[in-house]
Every structure is written in structure tokens, then in C-alpha cells.
Amino acid sequence: MTTDPTPTTTTTTTTTTTTTTPTDATRTPPSSERAPLTRDRILETAVSIADEHGVSALSMRKLAKQLGYEVMSLYNHVENKDDLLDGMVDLVAAEIEEPPADLGWQPAARSIAVSAHDTLVRHRWAAALWSSRWPGPARWRHMEVLLELLAGAGFPDDVADLAFHAITMHIQGFTQQQINYAQQAIDEAEMFDRFHREVSEDEFPGVHAHVRYHLERDAPHDEFAFVLDLILDGLERARPA
């Protein structure tokens, strides 16, 4: 008896493997492509992130990714987040220019204050941290130059102390308020409309005149310099002849 063979069907399964190639934006550069990690480079990058996104957006993870390193690598150069912030503020302070040696005490103090104000306006996050962070060499130098200037002008110790704090508090306090106003997302038309609805001109005529002046004036004043000159002129009158 002859038996017909049963046909055999063979199924072949093909597996496709998809390989995802990291883009330049997501891949971690190999060590040969990365710039060496140093404290200065970490601080400069951290300041750049804070300038662009605000200091609240800064994290050690984000900083490490920006530098192309793992987070733990940062701790070979900065102790912790506090040390990082201290260093960032001091790096900003290093931008404050010292006055020329041949200036009198008033124009020299004015030059220091204006440079400090301009520096803090460039780095809007730094003013809020200025008093809470431990100073580094640049900030100690900034203080030393101003104190030497006041001592050299002949101020008694008590007046020199008051003068130092008057100048430095004006720099920090005025600048912080200026930055706060600039960062408020307020629709001016809506704000003035609310003001006119809620604030009676009969009850507050001086306030209305003040607001009207701000609306109608041709150009803003340099309010920082105006108050600074009042402080310096007052100190000059308190200086022994």
C-alpha cells in the first residue's frame, strides 16, 4: 500500500530590531568631546541657567546635563547646592568694577554703586540672594574697596559705618524693588483702569496726581542715581572739614 506524503509547511518569522540613535541634544558626549569639568565652568554654567530661566529653575541634575556630566561629578568641585549658590553670587560680584584710583571719594563711591546696580540688573536673580549667601573673595573685595574709600575720606568710624550701610542697602534694596516691578506680569491698561475704579480722586488727590504724572511724563528718571546722589551729598556734609 502506498501512502501519499503529507505536505509540510514551514513558517519563517523575521524579527525587525529598531535602533534609536540619540540626537546631539539628548546624548551624553563621550569624554573625548567634553570640556574638562572645573569649579569655574560649573559656576559659569549655573549663572547662565539662572540668567535665562531664573535661579528657581536651577537644579544639580539640570546643571550636570547642561555640562554633559553625571550629577555626582559636580560634587568633586562644589560641596552642595549652598556652595554652588555662594559661588554663583560671588561670580556675579566679580563683575563690579573698581573705580579709578585718582577719583575723589564721592565720584568713586558713585562709580562703585552704579556698577554694582548695573551688575545686579544684568543678573536679576542675584539681588534676592545677596544678603543670604556667604561672601567669597570678590564680595569681600567689593566691601573692602568701599570701606577703604570711606576711611580714606576721613569719616569717623561711626559715620563710615553708617555710610557703608546706607550705600550698600540702597544698591541692594532699590535694585531688588526695581527688578520685582519689572518681573510683575501686569497689564498696565488693566491696572490703571482698576485704579480709577477703586481709588477716589476726591479722597486721594495726591495719589491721582502722582499716577497721572507717571502716565504723562516724557521719559523715566534715573531714580537710582537720584537717590544715590542724595545719600552721597548728605554724607559729604557729615564729613569732618
Q: Worst-scoring range by mean pLDDT, 4-8, 97-101, 160-164, 201-205?
A: 4-8
Above 80 in pLDDT, residue 25? Answer: no
State the pLDDT at residue 13.
44
For helices 81-93 and 39-53, angle between their N-to-C axes, nearest 10 degrees: 80
Per-residue pLDDT tens over the stretch 57-68: 999 999 999 999
* pLDDT grade for 48, boundaries at 50, 70 and 90: very high
Residues 165-181 have a mean pLDDT of 94
State the pLDDT at residue 30.
56
Rounded Cα–Cα distance for residues 66 and 60 (Å): 10
* pLDDT grade for 200, boundaries at 50, 70 and 90: very high
Q: Worst-scoring range by mean pLDDT, 6-10, 175-179, 237-241?
A: 6-10
Above 90 in pLDDT, residue 23? Answer: no
Contacts of 12 (CB under 8 A, 6+ apart): none
Residues 158-179 have a mean pLDDT of 96
What rounded mean pLDDT belongs to the chain? 87
* pLDDT grade for 137, boundaries at 50, 70 and 90: very high
CA distances from 113 to 104, 158, 169 (A): 14, 21, 10
HEC string of the chain?
CCCCCCCCCCCCCCCCCCCCCCCCCCCCCCHHHCCCCCHHHHHHHHHHHHHHHCHHHCCHHHHHHHHCCCHHHHCCCCCCHHHHHHHHHHHHHCCCCCCCCCCCHHHHHHHHHHHHHHHHHHCCCHHHHCCCCCCCHHHHHHHHHHHHHHHHCCCCHHHHHHHHHHHHHHHHHHHHHHHHHHHCCCCHHHHHHHHHHHCCCCCCHHHHHHHHHHHHCCCCCCHHHHHHHHHHHHHHHHCCC
* pLDDT grade for 181, boundaries at 50, 70 and 90: confident
Residues 72-81 have a mean pLDDT of 96
